[in-house]
A and B are shown apart, each in its own frame.
Chain A
Amino acid sequence: MSAIAAPIASRRERVTQLRVILSEWTKLRSVRSTSWSLFAATVLTIGFPILASAVISAHWGHRSPGERAHFNPIDPALVGSQIAQLAIGVLGVLVMSAEYSTGMIRASFTAVPKRLPVLWGKALVFSAVTFVLMLPAVLIAFFASQSILSRHHANLSFSDPHVARAVIGAALYLTVIALFSLGIGSIIRNTAGGIAAFAAILFVIPPLMNVLPSSWNSAASRYLPSNAGRAILQVTRDSSSLSPWVGFAVFCGYAAAALAVAAILLVRRDT
């Protein structure tokens, strides 16, 4: 251990968005919560559809003709992504809130005092990782579940109308969930509070809408983040929901709003 700081070998380079993205990639891949959450999300996305299709297939003989007619094979195929969104959302909150709870944020903002590149870097890295993992996961989930259902000729083909959009849409939905939860984590800065807020917005508020008069409920419900976002997962159009791409655009709007508020607060607040 020498007494004097080792002289620097490299040239003095400036902070760039690209470098911050690389740094955020190192940060994301080097903590355990990332691998656990993404592993859980992948397993849930693939496992639940297989399980659901196997159960449906086993009970197919007991189903009434009416039930068979109402059965939509896309539902079991994408059921996993509905559960995986919790794992993605929790990780999204943690990506930011853990920096605050551990004090890492001070080191991060000392290295990048303009701060916003850190938020954009996290958003890009986390959403890219989510999409890259979830796209194959939903494709595997779709083909595995449909091959199980094909025994009863109750399956869909990927080339059927709207099917490709719905399956790829599930991966897009989870990617936007990643951005939305990152925004919430950055606004709330506290892990427990961030996860609670995320869960409340996605899972608690929608059923609460039922207390509203039904005319208000049906008008407002479709614009809630979760309902708007899930429109893209539908193969047959449900009259109470927005059209797939409009719904998805509304959902993207929520995520963009969360990130915009996060960005404003990030620059203004003390650390």
Chain B
Amino acid sequence: MIEARDLTKDYGDKRAVDGLTFDVRPGIVTGFLGPNGSGKSTTMRLILGLDRPTKGHVTVNGKPYRDHAAPLHEVGALLEARSVHTGRSARNHLLALAQTHGISRKRVDELIDHVGLHDVSRKRAGKFSLGMGQRLGIATALLGDPHTVMLDEPVNGLDPEGIQWIRTLLKGLASEGRTVFVSSHLMSEMALTADHLIVIGRGRLIADASVTDFLAGASKPLVHVRSPQGEELREALQGPDVTVAVVEPGLFEVTGLTAAQVGEAAAAHGITLHELSPHQASLEEAFMDLTRGELEFAAS
């Protein structure tokens, strides 16, 4: 469980995070979305106490991160920027972190196998590819078998097999009842893994909703109808909150009614339909709609 309240961070004159209030709940995957530079990484650093908030506060499992006696068992984190000494082997990197909590060498070796770094565990981490670096980061995050897992852009640099592995891993961690908080600037990635979304732009909260609600709320469902009897159709569909727009001669875009309702109305009035197709706005479109204003503001 992560609880942020009015979390604000300034760097000089620039406000990187602006009054964020949100909860990240256990048992589900929560996606943390926003365009690049919107404050996701800063928020994660504030959660881990690496940076101090200018205003507001954030707790993890009921306490500020710093106050936990065994923080690696509370939160496992993968931060976007590499956090590994390039001259140290993967194994020694994990071992040094494990030793701070009295975690066994056996656990370190298990994790190295688990993330698929067995063959390179004694190589210097500086020689790792981006994908291997991400795997080492995941191993670091899982070291303490934490209640909360927080990953910043975990699929960056991974091959398709690795991406698939991350998705399965995240869902598995959530199904074990852990809190899973994953950032991404890619809506499509979140559509496949997240149950809940927290969307920010320019450091401010834009949306905090389940993926289903987010889609429903971001834009109304549309129905495309193709019919040679346009005028009759328009009259048959009339009602409060219903709009019928002409996309091109013979093709209409209906909002405020489901495809089933349109089809039933047409049948009742004996209207011929050539096409009837519901259009759910994609998560990507919904995200773009939501953040467009923020991006334009940022670009001006």
Nearest A residue (CB) for B114:
A6
Q: B: which residues have CB within 8 A of A?
A: 45, 48-52, 65-66, 68-73, 75, 77, 79, 81-89, 92-93, 95-97, 99-104, 106-107, 110-111, 113-116, 140, 142, 144-145, 165, 168-169, 172-173, 176
B85: which of A12, A27, A111, A113 is its contact (CB, 8 Å)?
A27
Among A12, A22, A107, A110, the residue within 8 A (CB) of B99 is A22
Check A98/B169 contact, CB under 8 A, given A26-B95, A107-B140. Answer: no
Q: Collect the chain A residues with CB atoms within 8 Å of residue B86's CB.
A: 102
Q: Which residues of B contact A15 (CB under 8 A)?
A: 69-71, 100-101
17 extra interchain contacts, Cβ-Cβ under 8 A, other than A10-B107, A102-B82?
A: A4-B172, A4-B173, A6-B111, A10-B102, A12-B70, A14-B101, A23-B97, A26-B95, A30-B88, A33-B87, A102-B87, A107-B97, A110-B71, A111-B101, A113-B68, A114-B66, A270-B45
Q: Are B85 and A104 in contact (CB under 8 A)?
A: yes
Cα separation A2 to B116 with both chains bound (whole Å): 10
CB-based A-B contact count at 8 angstroms: 148
Q: A1-B115, A1-B116 are in contact. Are A113 and B95 (CB under 8 A)?
A: no
Interface residues on A, range: 35 or more
Complex contact A5–B99 (CB within 8 A): no
> Are A9 and B107 in touch, CB under 8 angstroms?
yes
**A116-149 with Cβ < 8 A to chain B:** none
B169 touches A4 (CB 8 A): yes
Near B by CB (< 8 A), chain A positions 7-25 give 7-10, 12-16, 19-20, 22-24
Pick the residue among B71, B82, B100, B110 that contacts A20 (CB under 8 A).
B100
B83 and A107 contact, CB distance less than 8 A: yes
Interface residues, chain A, with chain B CB atoms under 8 Å away: 1-10, 12-16, 19-20, 22-24, 26-27, 30-33, 98-99, 102-114, 270-271
Alpha-carbon separation in the docked complex, A99 to B93 (Å): 12
Min CB distance, B173 to chain A, in Å?
Answer: 6
Q: Is the CB of B106 within 8 A of A27?
A: no
Q: Are A31 and B85 in contact (CB under 8 A)?
A: yes
CB distance from A191 to the nearest CB of B (A): 13
CA distance A20 to B100 in the complex (A): 5
Contact call A270/B52, Cβ cutoff below 8 A: yes
In whole angstroms, how far apart are the Cα atoms of A20 and B97 in the complex?
Answer: 9
Please tell me which one of the listed residues A12, A19, A104, A271 contacts residue B51 in the complex, with CB atoms under 8 A apart: A271
Q: Determine if B50 and A110 form an interchain contact, defined as CB atoms under 8 angstroms apart.
A: yes
Q: How far is the CA of A112 from the CA of B66 in the complex (A)?
A: 8
Q: Please, which residues of chain B bring their CB within 8 A of the CB of A26? A: 92, 95-96, 99
Indicate whether A14 sits within 8 Å of B173 (C-beta atoms), given known contacts A32-B87, A113-B49. Answer: no
Within the assembled complex, what's the spacing in Å between the Cα atoms of A111 and B79? 13
**For the complex of A and B, 3 pairs with smallest distance between CB atoms:** A8-B145, A13-B102, A30-B92
The answer for the CA separation of A241 and B65 in the assembled complex, in Å, is 50
A114 to B96, CA, bound (A): 17
* Cα-based distance from A111 to B77 in the complex (angstroms): 10
Complex-state Cα separation, A76 to B93, whole angstroms:
42
Whole-angstrom distance between the Cβ of A38 and the nearest chain B Cβ:
15
Quick check: B173 and A110 within 8 Å, CB to CB?
no
User: In the complex, which of the residues A1, A5, A20, A109 has the most CB atoms of chain B within 10 Å of its own CB atom?
Assistant: A5
Asked whether, in the complex, the Cβ of A19 is within 8 Å of the Cβ of B102, the reply is: yes
Q: Is the CB of B101 within 8 A of A13?
A: yes
Among A10, A23, A270, the residue within 8 A (CB) of B100 is A23
Between-chain CB contacts (< 8 Å), 5 pairs: A3-B172, A13-B70, A27-B85, A30-B89, A107-B97
CA distance A22 to B92 in the complex (A): 12
